[in-house]
Structure 1
Amino acid sequence: MKVYFTQLITYRCAIKEVRYGYNDGAVDKVFALPAGDPADPNGVPENAKIYMNVPAKTASMSVQLTYVDGTQSETRTFNAPK
């Protein structure tokens, strides 16, 4: 199964870090965003990793963002399609 981060990449100038976890686990893994580009802040760099493969048995994925000002989003959980 693939999980896409394209939308977050387009807002990378405002996001410092993307943390995630699987199946009610801690959000202790980091998805590395490409460096922000003030000249093209919403563009997706040609070599950007826009998705990652997750184990097929993954039932849900939780994500938390840390913004450049240090504030954090709520942790959001997304269920895998059935």
Structure 2
Amino acid sequence: MRVTIGALVLAALPQLAAAQQFTTAAEVRPILGATKASWVALREYDGQDLIYFTQILSWRCGLTAVGYGFNGAEPTTLLPMEPCHEGTASPNAITGDAIYLRQPPGSVQSLRVRIVYDDGTTEEASYARAQVLMP
């Protein structure tokens, strides 16, 4: 019996799909590393500064914590995160609306963010208001 490469790939698809759930540090680190400039966004809306963490929260299943600090403060304030939806087709799906923080208008001039991966390693980034301000 002759087995083609295509048949081997098709046979491996279920295992490949299961391995790519993006629920571990090893799986999400490359994505978060490549999108570091977009980890946060700031929007002036309805008389408030809204700080969005959507990019980070979209890959939270490989993280144990996200800390932030405004205006030079250490990134030690923990960002609330909904749990990972393990056992579903989309474990990183965001089902709630807790993707941003509200602050007084014009109060956020800079932001520091620290993410802690589930393997214990950390990564940090700093942003000036102008870098992340949405039009």
Q: Aligned to 1:11, which of 59, 62, 69?
A: 59
After TM superposition, the structure 1 = structure 2 runs for residues 12-51 of structure 1, keeping only pairs within 5 Å, are 12-38=60-86, 39=88, 40-45=90-95, 47-51=96-100
Q: Which amino acid aligns with 1:44?
A: I
The structure richer in helix per residue is 2
CA contact (8 A) 1:12 1:41 kept: no
Structure 1 gaps, min length 5: none
Q: Alpha carbons of 1:76 and 1:69: their partners in 2 closer, same or farther (altered >3 Å)?
A: same
Instruction: Give the share of equivalent positions with the same residue, in percent.
Output: 26
The structure richer in strand per residue is 1
TM-score for both structures, normalised by structure 2: 0.55
Q: 2:50 corresponds to which residue?
A: 2
Paired residues in the alignment total 80
Q: Which amino acid aligns with 2:85?
A: D
Rg larger for:
2
CA contact (8 A) 1:60 1:79 kept: yes
CA contact (8 A) 1:60 1:77 kept: yes
Alpha-carbon distance between aligned partners in 1 of 2:73 and 2:50, rounded to the nearest angstrom: 19
1:41 to partner: Cα distance:
2.0
Alpha-carbon distance between aligned partners in 2 of 1:35 and 1:51, rounded to the nearest angstrom: 16
Structure 2 gaps, min length 5: 1-48
Q: 1:53 corresponds to which residue?
A: 102
Q: Alpha carbons of 1:48 and 1:57: their partners in 2 closer, same or farther (altered >3 Å)?
A: closer
3-state SS, counterpart of residue 13 of structure 1? helix
Between the two structures, name the one with larger relative contact order (CA 8 Å, sep ≥ 6). 1
